[in-house]
Amino acid sequence: MQTRTVETWNEWRKSTPTLRPDLRGANLAAANLWNARLDNTDLRGANLDMAQLNYADLRDSNLGFSRLVAANLTMVRAEGASLRGANLSHAVLNGAQLQGADLTGARVAGTSAWGVGIDDRTRQLDLVVDAWVDPLERVVVDTGAALENIIVHCDHIEAAHLLYLVSTRGKFKTIVDAMTARVVLLLGNFGSHRKKVLNAVRHKLAEFGYAPVVFDFTAPVDRDLIETIALIAGLSRFVIADLTRPKSTPLESLLIAPQLMVPFASIIYHRERPFSMFRSLQAKYDWVLPTWSYRNQAHLIQRLKTEIVDPCERMRAKLSLRREAARVSARKKRRRAVDRLEYVEARSMQRCHYVRKVHELRRHYLTPRRRTISQLTPAPKASMSPMSPSRGGAVSWSSRRTKNTVDETMLP
């Protein structure tokens, strides 16, 4: 195929529609296969690294265990294709049509998958997301400074990179900060007329640089609607709820406002009134902002920034200062508790030393001594010998007593 142009190849495929080309193990690295007809082709084990496959037709082809590292598959048609075990690392799959394709066990590290077309028949089990090994890993002294070689398995190609970031050391904070800085949750009645108003608000918020999320999708497999909305609200910069003709909005408000310290803005059509318990939420939680009434959709879009966005941003700044003050207070309390504990430990050690010294002194001075009979007997009178001092001699003591014996001449 390398000796033919794409046009020649396409003409040959058109003339032989029933023939299935056998390109197993073919080396097509860096080949220009733009708009090539590779449908129903056996490409198992082929090398397509850095190949240009833009707009190519890969329907019902078998690319099992092939290499597509850094290949460009933008807008490729791959319905029903088999990519089992294929290496799609750093490949570009933007806009690829993968309905009914089999991606089981494919390597998708660094794969760009914006706007891919998938359906219930697309198999994405056990996708492998791994990082390139750091070439300095065996050279650096500090092994912690080298890049981590994390391997993550997931079942959704569009979420592969997100799961890798979540599992990588130090990246989860980046994800949370990025989401809480831009995501805005929109709640309301998703009927035909009310949905138009929410979509208009969503487009206007996107113009302001936010990432609006309209909660009109079905619940995930392992989470119900209550858990899903609480999760999204916790990752939102602020929440906007349309209270006009509410259905589940009252329950959602009662779920979010008491549990999450997130600015909660409410809007309502000027001819209606909020549900009765909403005023209690506003009185109890200061981050539940006053309800703003709009006359029509144009009025809402025109005043959205001044009446909704700016108050939410001011409340968010206020809540940030409150959180910071709470963190400082908690650190001070923790420091005081540690100082108090250290003081108590020092005093306890000092007291133990004092008590030990008291016991030693008490034993030394107050404990009765064991004395012998000789120690209890008064001292004998000295008898003068011819060598006494008065006669120029020495004193001689006639004390021939032994321990525990008494001389009878000494008794009274």
pLDDT (tens digit per residue) in 89-145:
899 999 999 999 999 999 998 889 988 999 989 999 889 887 654 444 444 444 444
399 pLDDT higher than 60: no
404 pLDDT higher than 50: no
Is the CB of residue 62 less than 8 Å from the CB of residue 83? no
Span 214-223, mean pLDDT? 76
Report the pLDDT value the prediction gives residue 82, as an integer from 0 to 100: 95
314 pLDDT higher than 50: yes
Report the pLDDT value the prediction gives residue 137, as an integer from 0 to 100: 44
Report the pLDDT value the prediction gives residue 338, as an integer from 0 to 100: 82
Overall pTM surpassing 0.75 (yes/no): no
Report the pLDDT value the prediction gives residue 356, as an integer from 0 to 100: 77
Is the CB of residue 200 less than 8 Å from the CB of residue 214? no
Span 59-63, mean pLDDT? 94
Report the pLDDT value the prediction gives residue 289, as an integer from 0 to 100: 94
Q: Torsion angle of alpha carbons 73, 74, 78, 81, nearest 10°?
A: 30
Report the pLDDT value the prediction gives residue 379, as an integer from 0 to 100: 56
Q: What is the pLDDT of residues 155-169, one digit of tens each?
A: 888 888 788 777 776
53 pLDDT higher than 90: yes
Q: What is the pLDDT of residues 246-292, one digit of tens each?
A: 888 888 898 899 989 999 999 999 989 988 889 899 999 999 999 99
Q: What is the pLDDT of residues 21-37, one digit of tens each?
A: 999 999 999 999 999 99
Say which residue the tokens 């050279």 belong to: 139
147 pLDDT higher than 80: no
334 pLDDT higher than 70: yes
Q: Predicted confidence band at 49 (pLDDT cuts at 50, 70, 90)? A: very high
Tokens read off for 239: 């929440």
What are the beta bridge partners of residue 264? 239, 288
Domains of the chain, with CATH numbers? Answer: 1-169 (2.160.20), 179-318 (3.40.50.360)
Report the pLDDT value the prediction gives residue 288, as an integer from 0 to 100: 94
Report the pLDDT value the prediction gives residue 394, as an integer from 0 to 100: 45
146 pLDDT higher than 50: no
